[in-house]
Amino acid sequence: MTKSKAFIQPLDRVAIALMLLLSLLIGLVIWQGDAVKPSVRNFTWQNQQIGADDISFSLTFSRPMDTKSVEENLKIDPPLAGKISWAGRRMVYTLLTPAPYGTNYQVQLQQAKDKFSQKQGQNRVLQPFTGSFRTRDRAILYIGVNPEEQGQLIFYNLTQEQKKVLTPKDLVVMDFEPFPDGGKVLFSAHTANNPDLLSAQLYTVTTGIFSKTGNRTEASGKVDLILDNKDYQNLKFDLSPDGQTIVIQRGNKSNPGDFGLWFLPTTSDKSGEKPTAKRLQSQPGGDFMITPDSKAVAVAQGQGAAIISLQGDASKPLDFLPQFGLVQAFSKDGSQAAMVKFNTDYTRDLFLVTNQGTQKPLLKTTGSILNCQFDPASPTLYCLLTQLVSKEEYIEQPYLVAIDIKTGEQKPLLVLPIEQRNVRMSLSPDGLGLLFDQVVSQTNSQAPLSTNTLKTDDGEAIATSSLWLMPLLPIADTTTAEIKPEKLPLAGFDPYWLP
C-alpha cells in the first residue's frame, strides 16, 4: 500500500512523463537521422573595408561541405574573379586582381550541400548565407597651389567628393608619402617664413579616414614632428612598404662633404622612448628606394645600383648591378624591378630585371625616364617618359606609355605639352586609374616671386597646376574607343593615390 501511494506522487508522474517524451524524441532523431542544416560560421570580410593588399577571404562552415556544390553556387556581386582552395571546412577565395575601390559587395551562397548527406540518403542544404563588405573610397593627396591653400597638403575623396586641408598654413609641403593603411601621411616641409628649401623637417599628419573594420581613426590634421634639421639637412626620404622604417638622405650642416643615408623607425621600442635616426654605414649614393620586403634599400652608387641591408651590415651590399644606374620601380612582390641604364650616347634604356637573373630590355629613349609603376592587376608597366625633339635647345616631349612586360608591346596613352615637362604621375592601387598633373611655370613677365613661391624639381616657380585622371583598360583590350583624361576640379600638383 505504501509503494503504490509513492508511485502516484505528482513529482513522480512528471518525471515519468518527461522520460517518455525524451525517449520519443530520441527515437525520432534516430529514425530521421541528423537533419540539422549546415551553415556558414565565419566570413572573414564581413562588414569590413578592404584595400588592394587584401587579396583573399575565407568562409568557415559548420560541417564538411560538398566542395563542388559550394563552388558552383557561390556568387559575388559585383563579380570578382578569383580561385578557390580548401582546407577542411574552410574555403579560401583568392582574388586574381585587386577589388575596384569605392564599391559595395555582396557574397551569397545558397543550395550548397553537406558532404555526407547524399551518402546517407538525405539532402541537407546549406542555410542561405549573405555577407557584405566594401572597398576603400577612391581618395588622393596633392599639394595645393591656390593662394588660400598654397603649399598645403590636401586630401580629396573622389568617391564622396569631399575635400580636407591636412596641414597648417605655416608649413610649405615639399614631398609626402602615405602610410600603408592610409591613416597617416609622412611629409617634408619648411616653414612659410623660411624660403630655404634645405631647411625641411619631417612630419606626420593624420588623414581621418576609416580603418579596415569601418571605425574612424584619429581626426584629420594632427601634425607631429618626426625629424628636425638642427644638425643635418633632410634632403630626400622614402617610407618602407610596411610603414615601419623611414630612410632619409641627410647632409651635415657644418661639413658639406658629410652626407649619406639614415634610417628611422616609425614606432617606439619596448622602452617607449621616441625613435632616433641612425646613420646607415654605407657609401654615399644618389637616388634610392626601399625594397618591397622593407628589409633593404636600392641605392645608385658610382656606376651601378647597390642593394643595401637595413637590418645587417650595410657596408657590404647584398647585391650590386654595375650596368644599371637607377631603380625606377619594384613590383609588389619584389620579384621584378624596372631599372634604367645610362648609355654613353646620352640615351637611356629601360630594363625589366627579375630575381631569377633575367634582364630584358623594354625600351630606349633619347630623353628621360621620369617614372615607372607596375600595375597590380596585370603584367603591365606604366611609364612617364620624355623624347628629345630638339638637340640644339634640348627640348623634351613628355608622354605616357603602357608596356606589356611579357611581350614587350608598347601602347602609347597620352602625349603631353612640351612646355610641361615637370609632370608627376600616380597609379591607383586597384590599377584602374592614372593621376597626373600639368604644371604651368611662371614667366618673367608675371608677378615677382614671393618667398613662399612653390617650385618644381627643376627650380622653376609654379604659377598654377591642374590635376587629371585617366581611366585605364588592360593593354590587351581590343576596343577602339579612345580614352581621354578627365580634368579634375582641383588646383594642385604632385598627386598621389591613397593606398
For residue 218, what pLDDT band results from cuts at 50, 70 and 90?
A: confident
3-state secondary structure 1-19: CHHHHHHCCHHHHHHHHHH
- More confident call, 42 vs 216: 42
All 3 cell numbers of residue 443?
A: 614667366
Task: Give the model confidence (pLDDT) of 316-326 as tens digits.
Answer: 888 888 889 88
Structure confidence at residue 27 (pLDDT): 63
CA-to-CA dists, residue 266 to 211, 219, 221, 333, 433, angstroms: 19, 19, 18, 22, 30
Task: Indicate the average pLDDT of the chain.
Answer: 87
C-alpha distances out from residue 201 to 189, 232, 350, 441, 459, Å: 6, 10, 34, 26, 19
Calpha distance 339→238 (Å, rounded) = 18
Query: Given this model, what pLDDT does residue 53 score?
Result: 92
Residue 25's pLDDT is 72
Reading phi first (left if > 0) and then psi (alpha if -120 to 50, else beta), residue 187 is in beta
Asked whether 298 and 307 are in contact (CB, 8 A), the reply is yes
Per-residue pLDDT, 35: 57
Instruction: Give the span between the Cα atoms of 158 and 51, in whole angstroms.
Output: 15
Give, rounded to a whole angstrom, the gap between the first and last alpha carbons of the chain. Answer: 87
Give, in order, the Cα–Cα distances in Å from 294 to each of 194, 287, 451.
34, 17, 38
What pLDDT was estimated at residue 2?
47
φ and ψ of 282, to 5 deg: -145, 170
CB 353 within 8 A of CB 321: yes
The model's confidence at residue 445, banded by pLDDT at 50, 70 and 90, is: very low
Domains of the chain: 40-134 (2.60.40.3710)
Q: Which of 22-26, 144-148, 199-203, 243-247 has the lowest mean pLDDT?
A: 22-26
Statement: residue 121 has pLDDT above 80: no
Residue 256 pLDDT: 80
Burial classification of residue 440, based on how many CB atoms lie within 10 Å of its CB (0-12 exposed, 13-18 middle, 19 or more buried): middle
- Model pLDDT for residues 56-103, shown as the tens digit of each residue: 999 999 999 999 999 999 999 999 999 999 999 999 999 999 999 999
The predicted pLDDT at position 120 comes to: 57
Instruction: Give me the mean pLDDT over the 122-126 stretch.
Output: 79
pLDDT of 196 reads 77
> Which of 381, 482, 454 shows the shortest CA–CA distance to 143?
454
102: helix, strand or coil: coil
Task: Supply the pLDDT for residue 325.
Answer: 87
481 pLDDT above the threshold of 70:
no
CA distances from 11 to 14, 15, 21, 22 (A): 5, 6, 16, 17
DSSP string, 237-286: EEE-TTSSEEEEEEEETTEEEEEEEEEEESS--TT-PPP--EE--S---S
* Residue appearing with cell numbers 547524399: 118
Q: What percent of the chain has pLDDT over 70?
A: 89
Separation between Cα atoms, residue 436 and residue 421, nearest integer Å? 12
d(CA 376, CA 108): 27
